[in-house]
A and B are shown apart, each in its own frame.
Chain A
Amino acid sequence: MNFRDKIAGKPEGQEAQAEMRESEALDQEFEQALRNFRLSVHAWSEAAYNRPRAVKTVRQRSWRLAAGWALGCVLVAGSVSGGVYERHHRQELARIAAAARAAEQQKQAAEAKAREEEDLLAQVDSDVSRQVPSAMEPLAQLMAEDESK
């Protein structure tokens, strides 16, 4: 069986046979090229298959990969914890400021209340003094004189 029949499994015909005879020399050369190609691939494959494996490179790659991941994790963890700390710090400051404001407000409210009470007492005193009946006024004057003495 000739080369083309081997490829395609075509039945041999007379025309094909004639054509084959004409190109027999070319076929032989082509077959030789394919044979060389096959043997070359086999030789290369055998050499590549039996070569020492680059275990060190793989280890190095995996070490680098692991280091990269570790560094990445550290950076992410640092960013997250920094953010959390910053937020906590701000919350703490805000809480202290709010407490100070509340204390100030309480103090102001207490002062205002004390002032109001004083005013009220003063008003009561003056009201009480005005409400002394006129019949008692001489007596009140005597008391005032005694006090001045």
Chain B
Amino acid sequence: MTGATAEEIAGRELETATQEFANIVATHRPQIFRFLLASTRDADLAETLTQECFLKAHRNWAGFRGDSSAMTWLMRIAINLQKDHWRNRRMQFWRQTQTHAVDLDEASEWLPSGESSAEQKLLAREQVKQVWQSVRGLSERQRTVFLLRYVEEQELSEIARATGLSEGTVKAHLSRAVARVRAEVGGKR
């Protein structure tokens, strides 16, 4: 009798956890994909890494204690996956042969819909291209911090938790990244 009740409780808990995780996936998947897309400029790779991210999250879902938000936790997994992807020796071959990363012109084609006149569109496209060019020249850490701040609009404290760095270090990386982007974007005007 007691055993059956415990089984029922365990079943209900499992169902609740599954439902919770499904909600997490539905809520955060587009954002994780966007960050990975901006980091890699490769939609297929971003899709693969997003799936890996949620697979890993699902495996470790029981161990998630809620110390940080689910988004921060997922972003941390995504950042590590992205780092692993480029550093993993087993992926070196793929890294050399993968050709799906779009060039900067193509990446700059996506424009905010608000630009009305042709001149505004041209200016916006040029600006976006320049930022992409600068971002490409940043170090991996600077790029991650920059994208989290200016694409994902995260707070410094959130970025610090997601990257595992101190807030001071995040600030320093961000400052250097912005200085570089600013210099390049400004210098090309």
Contact = CB atoms under 8 A, between A and B. Distances in A.
Contacts of A35: 112
Contact of B131 (A33, A46, A51): A33
Contacts of B84: none
A48 B128 contact: no
Interface residues of B, number: 36
A32 B149 CA distance: 15
Nearest to B33: A49
A38 interface: yes
Contacts of B112: 35-36, 39-40, 43
Contacts of B127: 32-33, 36-37
A13 interface: no
Given A30-B186, A32-B127, A33-B127, A45 B150 contact: no
A37 to B, nearest CB: 4
Contacts of A32: 127
A34 B181 CA distance: 10
Interface of A: 7-9, 26, 29-30, 32-49, 51, 53-54
Q: Quick one: which of B110, B156, B171 has the most chain A CB within 10 A?
A: B110
Q: Give the dominant DSSP class at B's interface.
A: helix
Contacts of B150: 34, 37-38
Given A26-B186, A32-B127, A45 B34 contact: yes
B174 interface: yes
Interface of B: 30, 33-34, 37-38, 43-44, 46-47, 107-108, 110-114, 124, 127-128, 130-132, 149-151, 153, 156, 171, 174-175, 178, 181-182, 185-186, 189
B43 A36 contact: no
Contact of B178 (A7, A36, A38, A39): A7
Nearest to B120: A36
B187 to A, nearest CB: 11
B6 to A, nearest CB: 41
Q: Quick one: which of A9, A41, A43, A46 has the most chain B CB within 10 A?
A: A41
Given A8-B175, A9-B156, A51-B43, A43 B113 contact: yes
A53 B48 CA distance: 11
